[in-house]
Amino acid sequence: MTQKMSKFKSLKKTTKVDFATYLGVIVVFAAVSALQSGGSLTRSAIGLLVPICCYMSMAVSLNLTVGILGELSLGHAGFMSVGAFTGIVVSQSLLDSVTSAPVRLAIAMVVGAIFAAIVGLLIGTPVLRLQGDYLAIVTLAFGEIIKELINCLIIGHDENGLHFIFNPAGNKTVDDLGLSATGTAIIKGAQGATGTATIATFTAGFILVMITLIVVLNLTRSRAGRAIMAIRDNRIAAQAIGLNLTKYKLMAFVTSAALAGAAGALYGLNYSSLQATKFNFNLSILILVFVVLGGLGNIWGSLIAAAALTILPEALRQFADFRMLIYAIVLIFVMLATNNPQAKAFFQRLLPHRRASAEKED
């Protein structure tokens, strides 16, 4: 009986954390929505809402690759840009046929996710045969390649459908698309996408974060998630129990890319003008920082880190020149506090109830 009780209690532990994560996101969404409709948020704060949701989703999806699968990927921004520009093209070309903005947004995000997943599959199939540093370097390169390829794209839309030009030499312009009089150019090469109808909303961002959470958390708690973690913990033993390494690694990588694509589509439709250079190596690193800071494999940690590190630079605007310095110092301190055993012990002394729960775990 007592055995059953303890089994029941600890079985619920991961479920409890998951539900607390969902609940936390819902509560924060409700609170922020209330503040927004009450008019107590500044314009700059409102402008941050959708990007924060996108970054949260990016961080959680990257955590699937880095924290759960245990492979360092430095090209996550590449998948985001695929989703972003696919989403923009879909949304702009459906401007007349689908008049409802939320429906158009949903279609754009789904198509963005599918395209990012396809690119993820194409990249992942050869790349996941590598390990460790090599995989990191190759994903970094692919992220840059995707960025450069999108920089060469000219896409327009008229009543005959979509028109593409791939322009690596940089000698062609929108005029070469051969659009009819009613046609519009959507992506103009290095100029990026301009004149996009901004249909992204905070509610859509909230739904995106929730879907990302459900997909990642439920995947982690299913047989695929166990297999993925087993591969992370011990590759040789994972093979010895009959797991198909390539299949499960690809599953994690492609899911992660698809979610990044959906986040990218939302992000892209939040700005009337967007260049591919936005999705550079720095953005991949920024998202990796969210993941590492929040804790590898720790989903709610990624959410908080993404939100905090997006708000922090804005909040520090008054310190002008010292802004990035303070940002770096905060980063270092949080890293120390979460990863240093002595610092951990110090914080546990400060928080008696956490000490008790930590001892129970041992």
Give the one residue of 6, 15, 131, 180 binding other proteins; rule: CB under 8 A: 6
Choose between 169 and 241: whose C-beta lies nearer to other proteins.
Answer: 241
Choose between 30 and 356: whose C-beta lies nearer to other proteins.
Answer: 356
CB 248 → other proteins: shortest distance, Å? 9
CB 234 → other proteins: shortest distance, Å? 5
CB 357 → other proteins: shortest distance, Å? 14
Strands 184-188 and 161-166, how do they pair?
A: unpaired
CB 230 → other proteins: shortest distance, Å? 5
Classify residue 67 by its DSSP letter: I
Choose between 93 and 255: whose C-beta lies nearer to other proteins.
Answer: 255
Q: Is the CB of residue 276 less than 8 Å from the CB of residue 151?
A: yes
Choose between 2 and 37: whose C-beta lies nearer to other proteins.
Answer: 2
Choose between 10 and 160: whose C-beta lies nearer to other proteins.
Answer: 10
Amino acid (1-letter code) at residue 281 = F
CB 292 → other proteins: shortest distance, Å? 17
Give the one residue of 7, 16, 349, 354 binding other proteins; rule: CB under 8 A: 7
Chain positions 281 to 300 lying near other proteins, rule: CB under 8 A, are 297
Place of tokens 């607390």: 20
Choose between 240 and 320: whose C-beta lies nearer to other proteins.
Answer: 240
Instruction: Count the residues of the shown chain that bind other proteins, applying the rule CB under 8 A.
Output: 35
CA angle 231, 75, 86 (to 5 degrees): 115
Residue 63: phi and psi, rounded to 5, are -60, -30
Spell out, one character per residue from 215 to 254, where the chain touches other proteins: x when CB under 8 A holds, - when not. x--xx--xxxxxx-xx-xxx-xxxxxxxxxx-----x---
Question: Helix, strand or coil for residue 188?
Answer: strand
* C-alpha 11: how far from chain center: 29
Of residues 187, 186, 152, 156, the one with CA closest to residue 172: 152
Give the one residue of 3, 99, 100, 342 binding other proteins; rule: CB under 8 A: 3
Q: How far apart are CA 52 and CA 205, in angstroms?
A: 8
Choose between 95 and 210: whose C-beta lies nearer to other proteins.
Answer: 210
- C-alpha distances (whole Å) from 79 to each of 18, 112, 143, 246 are 26, 9, 8, 20
CB 233 → other proteins: shortest distance, Å? 4
Helix (H) / strand (E) containing 35 = helix 2-38
Choose between 92 and 302: whose C-beta lies nearer to other proteins.
Answer: 302
Asked if 121 touches other proteins (CB under 8 A), the answer is no
Helix (H) / strand (E) containing 56 = helix 43-63
Choose between 120 and 297: whose C-beta lies nearer to other proteins.
Answer: 297
Of residues 118, 285, 270, the one with CA closest to residue 202: 270
CB 227 → other proteins: shortest distance, Å? 5
Chain positions 34 to 93 lying near other proteins, rule: CB under 8 A, are none
Chain positions 157 to 216 lying near other proteins, rule: CB under 8 A, are 214-215
Chain positions 308 to 337 lying near other proteins, rule: CB under 8 A, are none
Strand blocks (E) in the chain: 153-158, 161-166, 184-188
CB 135 → other proteins: shortest distance, Å? 20
H-only helix segments in 221-322: 223-233, 235-240, 245-268, 281-294, 299-315
Q: Is the CB of residue 73 less than 8 Å from the CB of residue 124?
A: no
Sheet containing 153-158: give its strands across: 161-166, 153-158, 184-188
Question: Helix, strand or coil for residue 274?
Answer: strand
Choose between 245 and 330: whose C-beta lies nearer to other proteins.
Answer: 245
Q: How far apart are CA 68 and CA 174, in angstroms?
A: 44
Amino acid (1-letter code) at residue 229 = M
CB 214 → other proteins: shortest distance, Å? 7
CB 297 → other proteins: shortest distance, Å? 8
List contacts with other proteins (CB under 8 A): 3, 6-7, 10-11, 13, 214-215, 218-219, 222-227, 229-230, 232-234, 236-245, 251, 255, 297, 362
